[in-house]
Amino acid sequence: MDFITFENVEREYHVGNNVIKAVDGVSFELEQGSFNVILGQSGAGKTTLLNLIGGMDSPTGGRISVNGQKISDMSEYELTEYRRTQIGFVFQFYNLVPNLTALENVQLAEEICADPLDAREILRRVGLEDRMDNFPSQLSGGEQQRVSIARALAKNPQIVLCDEPTGALDSETGRRVLRLIRDAASELGKTVIIVTHNAPIAEMAQTVLHMRDGKIAGTESHDHPKDVEEIVW
């Protein structure tokens, strides 16, 4: 059975008198433990799609089910609970809490999750054992993104959602971050969805959803996705 299922999902926004369909009748399925990329130009609706998967937004039409739960019908409280237990987010701009140290940002997960991973262990895994007590402002962009990944993983979620995780990083750092996401995810058996406008990244995915104007313009599957090192951008 498919892990993530979208059935004719729509998301409309009202801007003044205009109705904008950010996601317009999208259907697809993704498997558990897969590594996926949603690719599209800016404004194609890919972030909206990601937010819908992550329970940060609710569809105006269609059905979404994740891991057997029908999240398109969930209440605000249930959605929070869903995010809390099932989803890990990695943002383009990291969104670390500036007043908490790297370690504490990761430990946030321990506060809310039933089955969190050890924060120090995860930070060691992402190569930050020496920077645990630094505040975000004392870390470089790449380091901050690694903390952000550690925070997402520490919650021990089913799904890790990444919105342009390399968008604010130089290519070398970006590559390292991507490798980290993929290695960690496959090691821990997580489903990963990365949103990007950066086409070469798609080559490392098992499934690629091409988005254009709120619709799925095409789906690609790679039986043998490329290694991060082979990708050039």
Partner 1 sequence: MVRGALFKKSLRDMQKAKVQFISIFVMAALAVSIITGLDSVWYTVRRTTDAMYAASNLSDLWVTVSNPSEQDLWGIRRLTGVTRVEKRFSAEADTALPGKPTLHVYALDDRSTLDQPEMREGRFGRYGGGAVLDSSFAEAHGLKVGDSISFKLNGVWMRMPIDGLALDSEQVYAVKNAATITPNSKEYGFAVIHAGALESVYGRSVYNQISVKAAPDTDLDQVVREADAVIGKRLIGITLQKDSASVSSVNGRIQQFKSLSVVFPLLFFIVSALITQSTMVRIVESQRGQIGILKALGYSKRSIIWHYTSYGVITGVLGSVAGLIIGPNLFGRVLVPQLRLSLSSYSIHVNYPNFLLAFLLILLCTGGVSFYACRKLLADTPAVLLRDKPMKEGTHVFAESTTLWQRMTFSNKLMVRNTMKNKGRFIMGVIGVMGCVGVIIAALTLRSTIAGLNEQMYGSTFTYDQKVLVDPQKTDSHYLGNLGLDAVTQQVQESAVEVICPSGGQKMEPITITTKDSPLIHMQSVDGTPVSLPDTGIAMSRKLCDTLGVKQGNSIWIKRTNKGYISVPIEEVSYMASGQGIYVTDGYWRSLGETFSPTALLIRWNGPPDERFLKSDMIMDSATRESQNSGLSESMQVVNFAVAAMIIMGASLAFVVLYNISILNFTERIRDLATLRVLGFHHREIRNLVLLENYFSAFLGTLAGIPIGKFISWLIASSLDERLDLTGSITLPAVLTAAVMTLGFAWAINTMVARKMKRIDMLEALKSVE
Query: Which stretches of the chain bind partner 1, using CB under 8 A?
Result: 51, 54, 56-57, 77, 80-85, 87, 89, 91, 93, 95-101, 104, 107-109, 111-113, 135-138, 151, 155
Q: Which of 89, 79, 18, 30 is nearest to 216 (CA)?
A: 30
Nearer to partner 1, 161 or 228 (CB): 161
User: Smallest distance from the beta carbon of 186 to partner 1, in angstroms?
Assistant: 23
For the residues of 10-76, what is the DSSP string, one character each? Answer: EEEEEETTEEEEEEEEEEEEE-TT-EEEEEE-TTSSHHHHHHHHTTSS--SEEEEEETTEEGGG--H
User: Smallest distance from the beta carbon of 134 to partner 1, in angstroms?
Assistant: 9
Nearer to partner 1, 5 or 107 (CB): 107
On whether the CB atoms of residues 62 and 72 are closer than 8 A, the answer is yes
Nearer to partner 1, 54 or 225 (CB): 54
Nearer to partner 1, 87 or 181 (CB): 87
What distance in Å separates the CA atoms of residue 92 and residue 81, rounded to the nearest whole number?
23
Cα–Cα distances in angstroms (integers) from residue 151 to residues 28, 35, 38, 161, in the given order: 28, 19, 22, 12
User: Smallest distance from the beta carbon of 47 to partner 1, in angstroms?
Assistant: 9
Nearer to partner 1, 84 or 179 (CB): 84
On whether the CB atoms of residues 23 and 63 are closer than 8 A, the answer is no
Nearer to partner 1, 7 or 81 (CB): 81
Q: Are strands 18-30 and 4-15 parallel, antiparallel or unpaired?
A: antiparallel
User: Smallest distance from the beta carbon of 55 to partner 1, in angstroms?
Assistant: 9
User: Smallest distance from the beta carbon of 80 to partner 1, in angstroms?
Assistant: 5
What distance in Å separates the CA atoms of residue 34 and residue 4, rounded to the nearest whole number?
11
User: Smallest distance from the beta carbon of 111 to partner 1, in angstroms?
Assistant: 5
